[in-house]
Amino acid sequence: MTLILLLLTIPAACIALSRLFRGARRSSPVAPQLPLGNQKGTVSAIVPTLNEEQRIRPCLEGLREQSEEIRDIIVVDSRSEDGTQERVKEAQTQDPRLCLITDPPLPTDWVGRPWALHNGFLHSSPQSEWILGIDADTQPKAGLVSGLLEVARSRNYDVISLSPQFILEFPGEWWLQPALLMTLIYRFESSGVDAQTPERVMANGQCFFCRRSVLEEVSGYTEAKGSFCDDVTLARTIAARGFKVGFLDGRRVLSVRMYEGARETWREWGRSLDLKDASSVAQLWCDLWVLLSVQGLPLPLFLGFLALWGMGYSSVPIAIALGFNGSLVLIRWALLFAIAPSYHPPISWLFWLSPLADPLAVLRIFLSAQNKPTQWRGRAYKL
């Protein structure tokens, strides 16, 4: 049994470690920039909203602080039942670039978020060369748009999305959320590393910066209309067309407060992290095999083999398994130092215990991979 476990898990560990090694050469975080001067009015920002009254104010304030490179800020509201529209109207009095629209009724074959973004894109000015899709729970920092434009120019990107700095508050979040984030790091390249093939492209729709001409070529967001991970689906579609797509570290220019507490984090974020809507069945199950081998099993197996060793069941296979899984556990804890800058300080002590939540995080991805979401952000779906 020990030999079988080693034969199943060692190849998966080699795959994951090769990805981590490439991450050691990742590019530096996107830095805030001063206005470029010759890019005035080249960006349209689109913010999809649905009952975001409690979270949208920092997002709008951050967008208003951007330079005149932003031509317009289009808030596409999906008939919010709280005070979201009132918050937007208040902000409109302070910045004429703000525009509030209501998207048409949701078609049965669309998910709400890409539908709102698509309608915002259709409503944006044809004179804008870039489209910035940005979520209402984000907190853009000064120099975000200038930084994106500079990186796009210097590295010839057609699409850039950013990994943010996460703002966590409650104890359960600090324990669970880093374990869920680690499932992405083990499966895909780190932010700042360009994917080698379109099917390995990673993206984050919380900040999705795309050339208008590219969106026009792929008919806006229609390629991702039925996807619950529309950001990754759209980015991979664009990459497959031959455009250059980058997923970069944005912690210096973007923060986000995603969910309130561990329960909401488990329910809402956990069910989209499997990325099954953007992956083939073979790719999905290969990724799940890697996750189980390098994140879900190492700690339980290490403790189990350690107990066997302590009871006198010593053998060469058990010694190898003990050392192998112990090494994976040590690597996992070391990775906490690598991802710590992605969290808004002060860092809770529970963050350092998040590897104990790894089996739960992997279980969440397995559960999500088995089921199509039927509810999302208060909406019911029958896709």
The CATH number assigned to the domain holding 155 equals 3.90.550.10
For residues 245 and 292, membership in a common domain is answered with no
- Residue 105 above 70 pLDDT? yes
Structural domains of the chain, count: 2
Q: Is residue 28 in a domain?
A: no
Q: Is there a single domain that holds both residue 71 and residue 9? A: no
Query: In the chain, what percentage of residues exceed pLDDT 90?
Result: 80
For residue range 116-151, list pLDDT tens digits in order: 999 999 999 999 999 999 999 999 999 999 999 999
Q: Which domain holds residue 299?
A: 2-23+280-372
Residue pLDDT, tens place only, 28-51: 999 999 887 778 889 999 999 999
Number of H helices, E strands in the chain: 13, 12
Q: Please write the tens of the pLDDT for every residue from 276-322.
A: 999 999 999 999 999 999 999 999 999 999 999 889 888 888 999 99
Instruction: Give the residue from 226, 246, 278 where a domain finishes.
Output: 278
Two tokens at 45? 């920002």
Amino acid at 323: G
Question: What mean pLDDT do residues 190-214 have?
Answer: 92
Residue 256 lies in a domain: yes
Per-residue pLDDT band for 183 (boundaries 50, 70, 90) equals very high
Place of tokens 């053998």: 315
**Distance between CA atoms of 311 and 303, rounded to whole angstroms?**
12
Residue-wise pLDDT tens digits, 223-233: 999 999 999 99
Residues 63 and 107 reside in one and the same domain: yes
Question: What mean pLDDT comes out for the span 334-351?
Answer: 95
370 vs 225, residue with greater confidence:
225
Contacts of 300-303 with C-beta under 8 Å, sequence gap 24+, read 300/359, 301/5, 301/325, 302/326, 302/328, 302/329
Is this model's pTM higher than 0.85 or not?
A: yes
Q: Long-range contacts for 189-192 (Cβ within 8 Å, ≥24 apart)?
A: 189/19, 189/22, 189/23, 189/247, 190/19, 190/20, 190/22, 190/23, 190/26, 191/26, 191/162, 191/163, 191/247, 191/248, 191/249, 191/250, 192/23, 192/26, 192/27, 192/28, 192/29, 192/247, 192/248, 192/249
Q: Which of 278, 305, 329 is the last residue of a domain?
A: 278
Do 317 and 260 reside in the same domain of the chain? no
Which has more confidence, 21 or 245? Answer: 245
- In a domain? residue 195: yes
249, β-bridge pairs: 163
In a domain, 75, yes or no: yes
Residue 360 falls within a domain, yes or no?
Answer: yes
Q: What pLDDT is stored for residue 23 in this prediction?
A: 81
Residue 381 pLDDT > 80? no
245 in the same domain as 177: yes
**Residue with the larger pLDDT of the pair 267 and 237:** 237
| Residue 158 and residue 267 share a domain | yes
One domain, residues 88 and 194 = yes
Do residues 269 and 284 share a domain?
A: no
